[in-house]
Amino acid sequence: MSYLVDIFLIAITAALINNFVLYYFVGICPFIGVSRQVDMAVGMGAAVTFVMAIAVFLSWAITYFVLMPGALVTTWVGQFFVSPERAAHIDLTILTYIVYIFAIASSVQLVEMYVRKFYPPLYKSFGVFLPLITTNCAILFACLTVMSHIIGVENPGQIWDLGRALTLGVFGGLGFTIAIVIMAGIREELDMCDIPEPLKGAAITLIIGGILAMAFMGFTGVDNGIRVALGG
């Protein structure tokens, strides 16, 4: 019961309360660039969510089994080179960022191949976004958040398992999608408005983003209330 409450809270927090775009400022480039039309925004959001889920899965697995001090695979392989005692202390966390960025690039490649093979019309409509997702801060940010709940956690009982990690990935992507779709809806209306020349383009998008961020601030503290209500 408490596990489900935890998952629920992680999901709500990632999607709404600590929205990736409007609170953590990751994924701003597509937020400003791709949010002109609702259907493009939905496509981008779906692609990002999909890639994020795979990337988070890969990074959790690699961090838990290879990178963190005392990881199973590293300890087992290390036994052939150094004493088992020392093998249990091998710390590969210095390689984390490099490994993550390549895991993300691989996820994007995987998704691109999959979509191109099995959903050609889908690939035509949003396939062009896929290579851009590799440099999307949001994906790396999701992986880093998962990392912070595995490495450097003092209490081993609080290390995130795969379920929590995937929840963060999927719902973080959904939060990104929500933000970008709302912005696209607003910008479609803006086409009919008379915007001052200097503000056209990125500037007005940012200002609207600010108002959206203000609106989303209303969600702060909701998780506290839910936690108290559910007694978790």
Beta carbons within 10 angstroms of residue 132's beta carbon: 16
| 98 touches another protein by CB under 8 A | yes
Q: How far is CA 201 from CA 86, 186, 206, in A?
A: 57, 13, 9
| 11 touches another protein by CB under 8 A | no
| 224 touches another protein by CB under 8 A | yes
| 207 touches another protein by CB under 8 A | yes
| 231 touches another protein by CB under 8 A | no
**Binds another protein (CB under 8 A): choice among 63, 145, 167, 177:** 145
Locate 108 and state its tokens. 């994007």
Q: Tell me if 1 sits within 8 A of 140, measured CB to CB.
A: no
**Binds another protein (CB under 8 A): choice among 124, 128, 199, 218:** 199
Q: Tell me if 153 sits within 8 A of 64, measured CB to CB.
A: no
**Binds another protein (CB under 8 A): choice among 4, 72, 82, 95:** 95
Q: Distance between CA atoms of 200 and 208, rounded to whole angstroms?
A: 12
| 214 touches another protein by CB under 8 A | yes
Contacts of 84 (CB under 8 A, 6+ apart): 75, 78
**Binds another protein (CB under 8 A): choice among 10, 14, 22, 115:** 22
Locate 109 and state its tokens. 């490649």
| 107 touches another protein by CB under 8 A | no
Residue 37 CB, nearest approach to another protein (Å):
20
Candidate segments 42-50, 116-124, 130-138, 164-172, binder of another protein by CB under 8 A = 130-138
Q: Which residues bind another protein (CB under 8 A)?
A: 2, 18, 22-29, 32, 91, 94-98, 101-102, 105, 134-137, 140-141, 144-145, 148, 154-157, 196-199, 202-207, 209-211, 213-214, 217, 220-221, 223-224, 227
